[in-house]
Structure 1
């Protein structure tokens, strides 16, 4: 998007290499329309598999219900697409000039230099990043896309507090919705053994443990692979004082990285679960997954109130894969494209507009993610009734109305040629 807007940029990536970790990622019409506008849809469609339905069942094989997805193309213009994250990363990397991405650049310090009209300070109107290798970089704006425990966010808070800006206490509170998650993408499998792979559409299967402490998500991909995800409750007690909150935050920070080190423990908890595809076990599917692509991460949802300073802004996924991050980018790049100048005043005004435009949608996404997590991980009579209604007895008109609300806005960039809104339910 920045390339299309004619905005120069440098990407500082803290990893030293691009690693092919992660499971699957799903895109709906909400972002597929803008991906078509910037010329990515055809490539994404080639690596993706169109989605038709989700089946939710218990560990013993009892089906709780199903959710339909085949109506999406007629109503919104696109089928939902699911693909392996490493495949998507290859496409994205192919579209960014290699010299634009600098690896091994862990940000330690962010310094915003005030504007000056006398021209005596060559750094005036810039922001400087100091990295762990002692390299420094300057620009007019820093966009932090570095996760829940963002180093850019922490430095931004420090800078704002130094200027006397009060940060809401809620921004410093520990995350409340915590889950361990292990993900992987299998090697190509035999379709005669896993016959689900023969179907033209992807059909999700979600298997819930008897006590709801674990859920397993299975997603057939193209090239005869199956993406899988294991969610497990962390059972982390909520901190009741500042010291415990700080310690918990530090421990969560250490555990928040994607990586294979702690994946085995969670995998062992569900190895004996029955695989709904072939009568075998989840363990067999795990064993058919290259170890180097299995990774563990902590899933956490939280709504932050502070999104920007004068020259630093945050962008994130808001609990819905990459969808909310892409929507952030659409709004942000549109505003940056229209900037009258790179003064702190004009940039700060644009960043405030960005937050105003995105806040309510992002907040709804975080809330929906939290509620969805509870639906799959909380036991009890009331939750059993809610699951039965949601997955089995919900009237179709209500289901479609809920879907229409989620897919209501399918934004595109204002400065590029428009992409037709093909769905029968038009974007707002």
Structure 2
């Protein structure tokens, strides 16, 4: 790789983690980010055990622990506050589940890279693959030629659209509001979700006396864009405490609203000198909390593949082989879970809740174990 160049499109978690993974192997990758400046953005972010294992591989586990918050448990409730299920995480497990503010993780990753390798205001408008290089044209008129390209520019990736024109985001059928608010007076210490006919609400404590919450409501795409705190409070005023109190403590300017979308699983990530990673390759609904986690896994696996194989195109194909099945399972499972969580019919909700209450803990533990079982620790093929 000494005489060849590698570039990354996208300066989010996938792109920055990959730049760090390559840097750890002596490879400098130039990162091109569409935004004109890097500002703290986003809300809370869940980091499953698999992501924490990946951070160990990247060498930043201790730093993440310092700025994150360990989750002792997760509880699922019905709208009246009756427990549906409860998961207690092992307090002796040093690779536990964490929450972190997305902006803080972003800042940590940036601090580990040379600022000169991050190029801002570079939105790709044209992609062209040549025999020995890849050519990019940006919306500011500038161009960039690289030997190899890692595409990490998210679910709306312009490069993926060029490579796979039929791969477009699909709407889940529900839309989402998120906010990070002060938790000093609320004193919420446990992570939870509440599932009811009017929508689903999640509460996740963050470090520094902050609380991340989200609400998902079934709707036609774009129909509820006008919703603010007043409309949300009215809709959920009969849900159990502390949900009304959380909404009362939120201001409209703190809300972030997005329709929930994903990508139908692809059959290909590697395209010669180009490879798709993160949301550009396998965007998932957030129901398993695995979107960012899978992007972080991607970075570690891609770094291992590039280190192991001299031929980078072959390394990209090995990455594809190692990642297609796992990411497909995540996307498909999260999609099904979202459909179950967003039920509105009272009879079906009752049957769902009864079924979940009757499940032995071993069933949930098996799924958690499957998420935690990663291949990069042994660097398998």
- 1:405 Cα deviation from its structure 2 partner: 2.4
CA distance in 2, matches of 1:233, 1:5: 45
Residues 384 and 376 (structure 1 numbering): CA distance in 2 closer, same or farther, change over 3 Å?
same
How far off its partner does 1:364 sit? 0.4
Identify the residue that residue 86 of structure 2 maps to in structure 1.
Answer: 67
Question: Among 243, 247, 255, which residue is 1:283 paired with?
Answer: 247
CA contact (8 A) 2:78 2:84 kept: no
Asked if structure 2 preserves the Cα contact closer than 8 Å seen for 1:230 and 1:267, the reply is: no
Change (3 A) 1:49 1:349: same
Equivalent residues in 2 for 1:46-61 (5 A)? 46-59=66-79, 61=80
Cα distance in 2 between the residues matched to 1:357 and 1:351: 10
Q: Note the 1:123-162 alignment, pairs <5 A.
A: 125-157=132-164
Deviations 1:272-302, CA, capped at 9 Å, x for gaps: 3358565743432322x8x2x5322232222
Q: Structure 1 residues 25, 279: closer, same or farther in 2, change over 3 A?
A: closer
Cα distance in 2 for residues equivalent to 1:9 and 1:58: 48
How far apart are the structure 2 equivalents of 1:384 and 1:10?
A: 53
Mapping for residues 13-412 of structure 1, pairs under 5 Å: 13-59=33-79, 61-71=80-90, 73-74=92-93, 77-114=94-131, 125-157=132-164, 171-172=166-167, 175-186=170-181, 188-190=182-184, 193-197=185-189, 203-209=190-196, 211-212=197-198, 214-236=199-221, 265=227, 267-272=229-234, 273-274=236-237, 278=242, 280-287=244-251, 291=253, 294-301=255-262, 302-317=264-279, 318=282, 319=284, 320-340=290-310, 346-380=311-345, 381-390=347-356, 392-409=357-374, 411-412=376-377
Runs of 4+ off more than 4 Å? 274-280
Runs (5+) with no aligned partner, structure 1: 115-124, 159-170, 198-202, 237-254, 256-261, 341-345, 415-426
- Secondary structure of 1:6's aligned partner: coil
Cα distance in 1 for partners of 2:191, 2:35 equals: 31
CA radius of gyration, larger in:
1
Let me know the Cα RMSD of the aligned residues. Answer: 2.7
TM-score normalised per structure 1: 0.74
Contact 1:271/1:281 (CA < 8 Å) preserved in 2?
A: no
How far apart are 1:308 and its partner, in Å?
A: 2.7
Number of residues paired by the alignment?
348
Q: Is the 8 A contact 1:21 1:295 kept in 2?
A: no
Structure 2 gaps, min length 5: 1-20, 285-289
CA 1:206–1:378: 2 relative to 1, 3 Å: same
Question: Where is the strand percentage greater, Structure 1 or Structure 2?
Answer: 2
Greater Cα offset, 218-227 or 269-278: 269-278
- So what's the TM-score if we normalise by structure 2? 0.82
For the residue of structure 2 that corresponds to 1:71, the secondary structure is: coil
Change in Cα spacing, 1:98 to 1:263, as seen in structure 2 (3 Å) is farther
Distance 1:387 1:363 in 2: 27
Alpha-carbon offset, residue 408 of structure 1: 2.1
Q: How many angstroms does 1:47 deviate by?
A: 1.5
Structure 2 SS opposite 1:388: helix
Change in Cα spacing, 1:411 to 1:78, as seen in structure 2 (3 Å) is: same
The offset of 1:41, in angstroms, is 1.1
Deviations 1:131-160 (A, max 9, x none): 0001111211111112222101012347xx
State how far apart, in whole Å, the 1-side matches of 2:91 and 2:374 are.
14
Determine the C-alpha separation between the residues in 1 that align with 2:156 and 2:378. Answer: 29
Give the Cα–Cα distance (whole angstroms) in 1 for the partners of residues 214 and 343 of structure 2.
18
